[in-house]
Structure 1
Amino acid sequence: METQTEAPSEQRTTDFVALGEPSDWQSRGINLESAQKWGFTRSTLNGDPVRLFNYRNAAQQLVWQKIRFAGKDFRSKGLKEDMCLYGMWLWRDGGKKIVITEGELDAISVSQMQGHKWPVVSIPNGCDGAARALKKNLAWLENYEEIILMFDQDDAGQKATAECCQIGFTPGKLKVATLPLKDANAMLMEGRIKETIDAIWGAKVYRPDGIVGVSDIMGDLMKPVEWGLKWCIEELTQHTYGRRMGEVYGFGAGTGIGKTDFLMQQIAFDITDLQMNVGAIFLEQKPVETAKRVAGKLAGRMFHVPDAGWTEEELVRAATELDGKLFFYDNFGQTDWDIVKGHVRYMAVTLGLKLIYIDHLTAMADTGDERGSLEQIMKEMAGLANELGIIIHFVSHLTTPDGKPHEEGGRVMIRHFKGSRAIGFWSFFMFGLERDQQNEDPIIATTTVFRILKDRYTGRATGKTINLGFDQETGRLFVREDDPFAEKTGFKDETAGADDAPF
């Protein structure tokens, strides 16, 4: 690019520091040619040596000075309303591309590294004033086909970059250049000139966070599709293709149906078969009881029942097996979601747990606005699972159905979940457990129907059921090979009703 070569006019104010002479700055890699090009001079102020970044307007009048003392002590002189982007006066109004740096020294450095061919300017007042400075000069910048931000690579510089990208440049015109070192002057001092030029030509069109193209995800796209973590019930694993990190799974059942037994057995399976540590947040069950129940699933003993024929030695052996593998939230009755959320984060980040169980969701709801609070909790819970790369299993209480109660074998539907709208929206799978506890047939009375209510993954499992029996001696659930319902009625319903259509 050609530069303006007219002789400077008289300055508009009389309070400027004497310009002195253009001076190189060897320790920062700036040569004399660059100092002359940019009017970068060395002078004195009150007997102290200073370096001057002299700002001029289009008429080459001196309008503002940034004065640099030793030790990065800056002062300024001039009229702030006349302050422009550093270097604007050097370039024509418009062209192919322009680079904007965070500091004056960086602008001189970029200009020097590409032989002063392409326009470079700098914001005048650092990161805090970056967006304001670009807005003020937006019309001038829009004369260029490409506007490239090359701010510092530290947190402040990246924050300023994000703010400047929101100004409202013509879509596709604004680009962001990334450097391997902190800033352009650091690149110059290290002699990494080619990398800096490559960064200019390889600058990427600004794209807001969260917007990606196929090329951005191609690596993940080409990874083999794998099965997720197993459930303790093999049939459930086959139906769902396992459990995947970043997802949330909801369980609903009436009182005494067997959801606690299922969760305890699943936790025991995770620890023993999958060799994974687990976090248990049971808001209405003390850690001692949870530990006894999980230990019981390991040992095949009902340690929480006093006359179930177990010994103290068996309990100690099973509990010891859980030590260092099962962690609890020991604050019975404290059900504030913000507190629970913090404990989930601690378990995931500090303890490295990938599997979290929460019982129950409804306990954390605001009684004054149950629906609204459950919607917020579910939204944050799903976001937390995705952010931390964990699996959250949660229990929800059910509303009273219109027909047969859930405790008498009434079918569980999605709309029975308290906060069903939010739960249905954010959950990857939803499960209902049904059992007719009062049935005269002891087989049916002890058989739990495990129903898949929602399958976001493939949709194929929605409506599938698994009949679970209960072994009174071991306290373990098992999949029944027979179908007591078919034998009694000659009919087995495995279809999903209209209410259970996938979200």
Structure 2
Amino acid sequence: MRPAEIAQLLARNADAVAKHLLPNGKREGNEWRCGSVSGEAGKSLGVHLHGDKAGIWSDFSTGESGDLLDLWREVKNISMPEAMAEAAEWLGVNPEGKKPHFARQQKVYKKPTTKPADALPGSPAWQYLTQERKLSEATLKAFRVGQTPKSVLFPCYNPAGELVMTKFRHVAGKKFGVTEADMRPALFGWQAVPPEARTVAICEGEIDAMSFAEYQIPALSVPFGGGTGAKQDWIEHEFDSLERFDLIYVAMDMDDVGRQATAEIIDRLGRHRCRVVELPHKDANDCLRAGVSLADMQELLAKAKTLDPTELRNAGEYVDGVIAAFNPNQAEIGFATPWSKCATLHFRPGELTILAGVNGHGKSEGVGHITLDAIAHGIRACVASMEFKPQRWLQRLVRQASCVDRPADAYVAKIMQWLGNGLWVFDVSTSAKCQRMLDVFAYARQRYGINLFIIDNLSKLDIDPDDYNKQRDFVDKLTDFAKDHDVHIILVAHLRKGNNDEQPGGKFDVLGGGAITNLADTVLIWWRNRKKEEKLKQGNLDDIEVKQLEKQPDALCLCEKQRNGEDEPRIALWFHKASHQFLGAPGAAPRKYVHYLTTGQPSADLAGIDAEVF
């Protein structure tokens, strides 16, 4: 809940709030009057109680003014986050209760081992920042800049004042980075943000954050520069702290990676409160060194705009995609299947895939394998599996990751640690409400940067199986969600029951009506070769017959539609029982996604390709 939302709720109860905060005041007409924020009797401070200005206050002796949340902070002499928490409690609202909570094993980060020594006047670091970068002594002290004989040190504190990360930059040359491994990604500059601030700028470099401070603008710097994906992992950790700001100016560098970062930051922190700052130079420090005045910078912020609607794009932005279309051998965005023999089926951002099959044909297991492989390639996934409790389908995923039917406890723990970096769970094992699911997905995308969502399956949503219009509307919302947030969604569905399941179905057999497959970008049919399984169970087969049967695939993944691909491949797959993986050829080795040798485990079960080594 943002400060403006809490202030709006307080304004609805302005009379009660004024009496609570300033009990020694008294009512005069439409205002509550007292001497100052200290609460003594008098008339200098007035609070509007009704009308359009309800909740607005001014202290005419000091010039201070604001809304009731500002007044709460001033009267209590506390920080903005503390005021937000106290006011919400007084109002009887619980902002934390509305947030979805995801069960996952989070990565353990290390704290910096030493606190940076303060930069000293006259040192190389001090001279570099004050003379070359034009930063003032007051700014260096406010940001607690440190030093080594060769470098500037930038300490990253959290809002509570704890040191969580330290970065360095060599005075000579452009070498920079973090001082130690495995520190939590953190914004730089919390130590200099005023406690009353409800507006902040987010920029691309520590020196830029300090340059904005020279312009009297509270600023925070991202830890890993421009770009998307893992570069913006800091959002997950800073999401709650940034809720205190009503307005966020996004002022990344004026280059391609800066613009990419701007788009992701705004999508995840909220278009409603983010504004894009167009600077006349590459970054804020270049503006400072070029002599851009305080008045000019304030005018630039006043002119900052929301990001253009996603539907409105300049044709020139598509140059990379058009070039890629003429060069199909180039690496495509998104992720591929786990099967190297299939290079033409791709799961792209902004698309919806429907994967359908008959009950018991292994479609959930197949989707699990696809998801696992995507995670191994850096994709962040959120799975909504309403047919199974999380422990059950995670057990299957652990088996697929280890290639072992019954991995040791220590091995399971390592795999869960690995999954915790890239997998989130929508924990509903009964029917799920469609709108609630989309709300949680939006939160997951914004906070954690999820770029793959799995819904297993359509029949477990709060939609009547015969209500084709509602099913179509939900799938339509999924396609919009995928495009708006630039993510991929896989929706698992059932096929209509036929006379038997000896032959694969098609896209016209998907339950829910033809509209949902028409709306989808890709349609996959998953089929299990039960006839082969039944024949192999017979005890009268000779070796030749067994070998002939084993050449037949155990499953087929049939692409019935791929709107943005040039092929609709037919993928034959063989099931590996120990790992529950689907392989591209008979006798192929499964891929071991997490390598962890323990005593007593057969080496045969561990055959495969390593994805991660601990």
TM value normalised by structure 1: 0.49
Q: Tell which structure's C-alpha radius of gyration is larger.
A: 1
